[in-house]
Amino acid sequence: MPATQAETSAMERALSLAARGPKGVNPQVGAVILSPTGEVISEGWHRGAGTAHAEVDALSRLPEGSARGATAVVSLEPCNHTGRTGPCSRALLEAGVARVVYAVADPGDASSGGAARLRAAGVDIEPGVLADAGTRLLDSWLSVQRLGRPHVTVKWAQSLDGRVAADDGTSRWITGPAAREDVHRRRTEADVIVAGIGTVLADDPALTARTPEGALREHQPVPLILGRREIPADAALRSHPRPFLHRRGHDLSAVLAELSGLGVHRVFVEGGPTLASAFVRDGLADEMLAYLAPVLLGGGRLALDDIGVSTIRDARRLRTVSIDLLGDDLRVIARPAATAEPTKGE
């Protein structure tokens, strides 16, 4: 049976509740319980790893037996596995819920299947209600599930002839204020910002996200520095509002696996040609964000160095997602051709 108006309104509320929960290893999920006549009788949301899932949180606020015949409206398909908590599908069955409406299917190999289990037990199921809104809410978490690691954006700014600095190493500023403002806005969308120790020693970046007026933005990505050399005691990033991480190993896959375990969804790589090239070479760059300034520098300081391409047959083919004019500069967003898909909001 298609979703009723009461169920659609309840889904809007469930999505709003879900947004209260923290982003992390577990998804943000909200739930609303409706009586058999369509009134809201309970609400809940997931508050982070190890806490009750949204459905269980909502059910726990009801007297025993009062959910019998009710409808559970949930932003994500009820899980079907036992982790730190039991399966929500079982909790809904035990509560006597008669109908479940959800927005987004659970993509997990272990956790999916809740809808099928409920349907097999005679519960009426209505999937995909406000699916677009649910997908937008869970976009970064869904990317992690698909990739098996955080989503990685590799950013650089270059001259029209592909240089990131003049031969004497100077690079401020290749691009104009509109492009730099866009970079700071995109930093605040990331959980972690990555730079190499060489960039830290050469440029002393703050790695903060700031407004055009220079104020710190509300959300700041955690700085992660890669490289064996020590970070100077007076480095600007030591004044960053978030404690920085320093990893001395060169295994980028291991670094991303560690970040995934910490609940990181979005990684923003802004660390110079050596680091950018390493992510591209290892196949770990999901998105390339390049700012092209109408200046010519010549010389040898290229935006990328060795990415494992020795012949044109090995070229890393990309698909252009968007090209935008920012002041006098161009912003180009591209993704590996095999995985490229439209960028929301571009």
**Active-site residues: which are they?**
55
Written as one string, the DSSP assignment of 189-245 is: T-SEEEEEHHHHHHH------B-TTSPBPS--PEEEEESSSPPPTT-GGGG-SS--E
d(CA 270, CA 203): 12
Distance (Å, whole) CA 256 – CA 235 = 24
Q: Which amino acid is at 28?
A: Q
What distance in Å separates the CA atoms of residue 184 and residue 135, rounded to the nearest whole number? Answer: 25
Contact 194, 271 (CB under 8 A): yes
State the Rg of the chain over Cα.
24
Residue with tokens 């051709």: 337
